[in-house]
Amino acid sequence: MRFYAAVIINRAVQAVNRAFTYKIPVALQNKIVPGLVVKVPFGHEHLEGVVVELLDQSDREDDTLKEIEAIISPNPLFGEDLLQLSQYLADYFLSTRAAFLQAMLPAGLSLTGHLPKSSLVEHFSIKIQEPVKLRSTKQKEIYAYLQQNPDAEKDVILANTNSNLSILRNMVQKEYIEKRTEMRWYQQSLKADIEFIKPECLTIEQKEVLDRLQKNAAAERKPVLLHGVTGSGKTELYLRFLEPLLRQGKQAILLVPEISLTPQMVSYFRSRLQMPVAVLHSGLSAKERKETWLGIAKGIYPLVIGARSAVFAPTPNLGAIIMDEIHDGSYKQESQPCFHALTAAKERCRLCGAQLLLGSATPPVTLYYQAQQGEYLLLQLKNRVLDLPLPRVQTVDMRLELQKGNRSMFSGVLKKQITDTLTEGKQVILFLNRRGYHTFVSCRSCGEAILCRHCAVAMAYHQEEQVLKCHYCGFTQPIPEICPNCGSKAIRQFGSGTQKVAEEAAKLWPQAHILRLDRDATLQKGSYEQIYKQMYQGEADILIGTQMVVKGLDFPNVTLVGVLAADASLFLPDLFAEEKSFQLLTQVAGRAGRRDLPGQVIIQSYQPEHEIIQAAAAQDYATFYHREIAERQMMQNPPFSFLIRMIVSGLELEKTAFAAQVLHGYLHRHLAAEEQLLGPQEAPLAKIKDRYRMQLMLKGTDLFLLRLHLRNALAEYQKDGKIKKNIRILIDIEPISMM
Ligand code: ADP
Ligand code: ZN
Ligand code: ZN
């Protein structure tokens, strides 16, 4: 008998971030299990909490302990692994267990216990083996049915017997049968709508890698980093690795960047595996998400595919987590609770004895370094399958174009190549590095750009609607006729967004069917699939897009990729700007010529001699890595140190700056000599959604100590009476972006 339960209160604040002990009342004995949501008295309130552990003994006198009042969720919402993971992540990311428990649930399920009626199903079973008197034939019929089909669902019973609900209820009342309530789960359509062909055999290189992967999974089960050039057949390896594992009754989670989670991609796995595959993506309604999640918890899906938060999918018997395109920024959650899905996946695999497999053509420098230090088993695919050559990459110096009097966005070389490609009936992708490069409106008299009044970010000009839009908060306003700064009428738009490129392209190639793929073009539901399909089926000739075209798309007929402005992301005020630029350019270049056609890539730049651009053009990860790691070592940046970034935000600039100063003061007192504290200063995005943002950065070689010092400083800061209530602090452990 377990008489006590440790409960985490559903409040994401540090003050209650620990387990509280409650007595289990006699009526609930044997019904309380870890993972259940319960109602408990707390102070003068009655709050929800999650049972995380059952205890034989209590750390306190019995009569000072309160009792659990009720069970809220009919079934446990968390398995043992996820309960433990919440503790690990709360410690690691300096957050609370409640915040992570909340983050683990899908929209539509929450810890507050308000389950919509529709999501509960009733099951019935026989209670008394030999009932005394079953009077009606209808009762007998139900009884006979339940003998054949124990634990049947209400609707199924009603459909298969000549009875009705009141007869069922009556039998329950007489205790002939008993009722059990369960949450409804949802079975996604399992059919693959396209059939894909399985490659006859693996290449020698693929075979070797698969062999080492399987040997490792059977023995040491070290986390694996698979570094394979674009088009080297990583996906094929994932499939061949997963199949036997799933046939043994284990489940796996495949994480992909949000943007590459296309229906085609999912179809591919369904078709190849011929098994139920659950998909967790933002396009599902809250109800679908919740019910899919419950289905996963029942273990009916061998494979779960999803973006970042699918790392918390409640698979009961986890055998592997695969993270594709591990360099992708969408694996990091930048809002509370900040966390990286890799940290979660690694620990979850450790807890479950599952295999972790990371794949990328451009692994993050930190990860690659750790792999070389032996933290990961490093496996390499150096060649494209079937000896497909890497695309030929050419750089164009845009400074010379300007000297030649070419003011267009297209260099002479790119123009000619596009024309040739279209003439051959092939397709073209044009990539525009959008970050910091979209069309904005600025004043020719004073030079000021129009900024969002809530975010202090340059507003983007949208020609179709003739408005200015903020890409951070969505605020929209008409284009002002006079400059809000100086009153001049000389106000006009600059830069080149995808719209402008599309317009210019339409003039140059009037016969071509041109598509745009960017955030605005895909806001409407389904339009992304539409664009993808048109491109895939060859109905479109030119696809113009931002970061979205880079990620994992595989179009058989694309032979030319043009990068319009390669430098745009290179000079951002970000420690990781070069790494990100390299990844982006390498991935773009990898889009060309993925089948039996040779690919051609043209990179336009104002600095084509830049080492990063050269390395990306040569698809040369090694050169990039050695340059970058040497620089990191010299500057003592990650992986040679750890960073913690703090964003202090508030509604008034002065009070925000003051709070940042106060925090700085407390931190300063706790730091060890080798630890550095930078700031406070304005964050690169100094204002977002009406909140001013100040940034502090901690740097040191021992993450454990850094966190400890920060925790102590925060505790003192919280007690400081001078700090206003509406100041927030966002803690970002191991940031991957400074923007
Ligand atoms: P990556 O994920 O490394 O970019 P993919 O797994 O998408 O590469 O493979 C690129 C293409 O090569 C795909 O169309 C895939 O079907 C094909 N492919 C992979 N392995 C083989 C193989 N052994 N034989 C023939 N084709 C293969
Ligand atoms: Zn002005
Ligand atoms: Zn805004």
On whether both 502 and 557 belong to a single domain, the answer is yes
- pLDDT given at position 573: 59
Establish if 457 belongs to a structural domain.
Answer: no
* SS3 state of residue 46: strand
- pLDDT given at position 436: 39
Q: Which residues are in the CB-under-5-Å shell of ion ligand 3?
A: 452, 454-455, 470, 472-473, 475
* SS3 state of residue 306: strand
Ligand 1 centre to CA of 386 (Å) is 9
Ligand 3 centre to CA of 485 (Å) is 18
Last residue of a domain, one of 52, 75, 103: 103
Establish if 483 belongs to a structural domain.
Answer: no
User: What distance in Å separates the CA atoms of residue 185 and residue 159, rounded to the nearest whole number?
Assistant: 19
Interhelix angle 165-173/137-148, rounded to 10 degrees, is 80
Nearest-CA residue for ligand 1 atom 4 is 231
Establish if 238 belongs to a structural domain.
Answer: yes
271 alpha carbon, closest ligand: 1
User: What distance in Å separates the CA atoms of residue 317 and residue 50, rounded to the nearest whole number?
Assistant: 21
Using 50, 70 and 90 to split pLDDT, how confident is the model at 739?
low
Q: How far is CA 725 from the centre of its chain?
A: 31
Using 50, 70 and 90 to split pLDDT, how confident is the model at 185?
low
Average pLDDT over every residue of 83-107 = 94
Ligand 3 centre to CA of 441 (Å) is 15
Last residue of a domain, one of 125, 148, 183: 183
Q: What is the pLDDT of residues 373-424, one digit of tens each?
A: 999 999 999 988 876 777 788 999 888 887 888 878 899 999 999 999 999 9
On whether both 348 and 393 belong to a single domain, the answer is no
Q: What is the 3-state secondary structure (H, E, C) of 181-237?
A: EEECCCCCCCCCCCCCCCCCCCCHHHHHHHHHHHHHHHCCCCCEEEEECCCCCHHHH
DSSP for residue 717: H
Ligand 1 centre to CA of 385 (Å) is 6
| Single-letter amino acid code for the residue at 658 | F
Q: How far is CA 241 from the centre of its chain?
A: 23
Average pLDDT over every residue of 11-21 = 90
On whether both 258 and 333 belong to a single domain, the answer is yes
Using 50, 70 and 90 to split pLDDT, how confident is the model at 720?
confident
User: What distance in Å separates the CA atoms of residue 346 and residue 361, rounded to the nearest whole number?
Assistant: 20
Ligand 1 atom nearest the C-alpha of 200 is 24
687 alpha carbon, closest ligand: 3
Considering only the C-alpha atoms of the chain, give the largest distance between any 2 of them, rounded to a whole number of Å: 101
DSSP for 514-527, please give it.
Answer: EEEESTTTT-STTH
The DSSP element (H or E) to which 344 belongs, if any, is: helix 341-352
- Of 64-73, 178-187, 221-230, 705-714, least confident by mean pLDDT is 178-187
CATH number reported for the structural domain that contains residue 123 in this entry = 1.10.10
How many CA atoms, within 13 angstroms, populate the side-chain half-sphere of residue 48?
16
Nearest-CA residue for ligand 1 atom 13 is 233
- pLDDT given at position 529: 72
Establish if 87 belongs to a structural domain.
Answer: yes
469 alpha carbon, closest ligand: 3
Nearest-CA residue for ligand 1 atom 10 is 231
197 alpha carbon, closest ligand: 1
- pLDDT given at position 437: 39
Nearest-CA residue for ligand 1 atom 9 is 233
On whether both 550 and 665 belong to a single domain, the answer is no
Ligand 3 centre to CA of 690 (Å) is 8
User: What distance in Å separates the CA atoms of residue 616 and residue 586, rounded to the nearest whole number?
Assistant: 5
Ligand 3 centre to CA of 472 (Å) is 5
Ligand 1 atom nearest the C-alpha of 590 is 4
On whether both 135 and 20 belong to a single domain, the answer is no
Establish if 379 belongs to a structural domain.
Answer: yes
Establish if 376 belongs to a structural domain.
Answer: yes
Tell the residue number behind the tokens 């870890």, with chain if given: 34
User: What distance in Å separates the CA atoms of residue 423 and residue 444, rounded to the nearest whole number?
Assistant: 41
User: What distance in Å separates the CA atoms of residue 561 and residue 554, rounded to the nearest whole number?
Assistant: 13
Ligand 1 centre to CA of 739 (Å) is 35
Ligand 1 atom nearest the C-alpha of 552 is 4
- pLDDT given at position 195: 67
Using 50, 70 and 90 to split pLDDT, how confident is the model at 33?
very high
From 236, 328, 388, 587, the mutation candidate for ligand 1 (largest count of ligand atoms within 8 A of CB) is 236
Establish if 422 belongs to a structural domain.
Answer: yes
Cis peptide before 680 (omega within 30 of 0): yes
From 208, 229, 235, 553, the mutation candidate for ligand 1 (largest count of ligand atoms within 8 A of CB) is 235
On whether both 64 and 209 belong to a single domain, the answer is no
On whether both 432 and 304 belong to a single domain, the answer is no
- pLDDT given at position 703: 95
- pLDDT given at position 167: 87
Q: Report the candidate in 491, 490, 495, 487 with the shortest Cα–Cα distance to residue 478.
A: 491
Residues 6+ apart with CB under 8 A from 211: none
- pLDDT given at position 405: 84
Q: Is the pLDDT of residue 369 over 80?
A: yes
Instruction: Look up the pTM and report it.
Output: 0.84
Q: Report the candidate in 514, 596, 517 with the shortest Cα–Cα distance to residue 556.
A: 596
- pLDDT given at position 589: 74
Using 50, 70 and 90 to split pLDDT, how confident is the model at 593?
low
Rg (CA), the chain: 29
| Single-letter amino acid code for the residue at 120 | L
Ligand 2 centre to CA of 455 (Å) is 19
Q: Kindly give the pairing relationship between strand 70-71 and strand 37-42.
A: antiparallel
Using 50, 70 and 90 to split pLDDT, how confident is the model at 183?
low
- Of 247-261, 349-363, 589-603, least confident by mean pLDDT is 589-603
Please tell me which of 287-291, 292-296, 398-402 the model is most confident about, judged by mean pLDDT. 292-296
- pLDDT given at position 572: 61
448 alpha carbon, closest ligand: 2
Q: Which residue has the higher pLDDT, 186 or 257?
A: 257
Ligand 3 centre to CA of 689 (Å) is 6
- pLDDT given at position 487: 85
Average pLDDT over every residue of 109-114 = 69
What domain count does the chain have?
5
Ligand 1 atom nearest the C-alpha of 388 is 12
Ligand 1 atom nearest the C-alpha of 232 is 3
Last residue of a domain, one of 598, 631, 664: 631
- pLDDT given at position 659: 94
Ligand 1 atom nearest the C-alpha of 361 is 3
Beta strands (DSSP E) in 487-633 are 491-494, 514-517, 542-545, 558-563, 600-605
Phi-psi region of 237 (alpha: psi -120 to 50; beta: other; left: phi over 0): alpha
Q: Report the candidate in 494, 381, 480, 382 with the shortest Cα–Cα distance to residue 444.
A: 494
Nearest-CA residue for ligand 1 atom 15 is 233
- pLDDT given at position 435: 45
Average pLDDT over every residue of 204-233 = 94
CATH number reported for the structural domain that contains residue 354 in this entry = 3.40.50.300
User: What distance in Å separates the CA atoms of residue 656 and residue 221, rounded to the nearest whole number?
Assistant: 47
How many of the other CB atoms lie within 10 Å of CB of 461?
A: 23
Q: What domain range includes position 216?
A: 204-386
On whether both 90 and 132 belong to a single domain, the answer is no
Q: Which residue has the higher pLDDT, 181 or 170?
A: 170
Nearest-CA residue for ligand 1 atom 25 is 199
DSSP for residue 205: H
Residues 6+ apart with CB under 8 A from 395: 566, 602, 603, 604, 605, 608, 613, 614, 617
CB 340 within 8 A of CB 206: no
Ligand 3 centre to CA of 648 (Å) is 18
Between the two ends of the chain, the Cα-to-Cα distance in Å is: 53
Ligand 1 centre to CA of 202 (Å) is 9
Nearest-CA residue for ligand 1 atom 24 is 199
471 alpha carbon, closest ligand: 3
On whether both 283 and 394 belong to a single domain, the answer is no
Nearest-CA residue for ligand 1 atom 17 is 233
Residues 6+ apart with CB under 8 A from 168: 124, 142, 154, 157, 158, 177
Average pLDDT over every residue of 75-103 = 95
Q: Is the pLDDT of residue 567 over 50?
A: yes
Average pLDDT over every residue of 181-206 = 72
* SS3 state of residue 629: helix
- pLDDT given at position 204: 93
Could you give phi then psi for residue 499, rounded to 5 degrees? -60, -45
Ligand 2 centre to CA of 94 (Å) is 45
Residues 6+ apart with CB under 8 A from 475: 452, 453, 454, 455, 459, 469
CB 213 within 8 A of CB 322: no
CB 644 within 8 A of CB 732: yes
* SS3 state of residue 429: strand
Ligand 1 atom nearest the C-alpha of 203 is 23
Ligand 1: residues with CB < 6 A are 199, 202-203, 206, 228, 230-236, 385-386, 554, 594
Nearest-CA residue for ligand 1 atom 18 is 233
Q: Is the pLDDT of residue 525 over 70?
A: no
User: What distance in Å separates the CA atoms of residue 498 and residue 516, rounded to the nearest whole number?
Assistant: 7
689 alpha carbon, closest ligand: 3
Ligand 2 centre to CA of 482 (Å) is 8
On whether both 431 and 345 belong to a single domain, the answer is no
On whether both 328 and 351 belong to a single domain, the answer is yes
Ligand 1 atom nearest the C-alpha of 202 is 23
Nearest-CA residue for ligand 1 atom 6 is 233
Ligand 3 centre to CA of 169 (Å) is 56
Q: Which residue has the higher pLDDT, 3 or 598?
A: 3
Report the residue count for the chain: 739
Q: What is the pLDDT of residues 450-475, one digit of tens each?
A: 877 876 667 777 767 778 887 667 78
Using 50, 70 and 90 to split pLDDT, how confident is the model at 176?
confident
Average pLDDT over every residue of 345-356 = 98
How many CA atoms, within 13 angstroms, populate the side-chain half-sphere of residue 39?
11
User: What distance in Å separates the CA atoms of residue 40 and residue 48, rounded to the nearest whole number?
Assistant: 6
Nearest-CA residue for ligand 1 atom 23 is 202
Q: Which residue has the higher pLDDT, 491 or 544?
A: 544
Using 50, 70 and 90 to split pLDDT, how confident is the model at 132?
low
Establish if 563 belongs to a structural domain.
Answer: yes
Mean pLDDT of the chain: 86
Ligand 1 centre to CA of 388 (Å) is 10
On whether both 568 and 422 belong to a single domain, the answer is yes
CATH number reported for the structural domain that contains residue 703 in this entry = 3.30.70.600
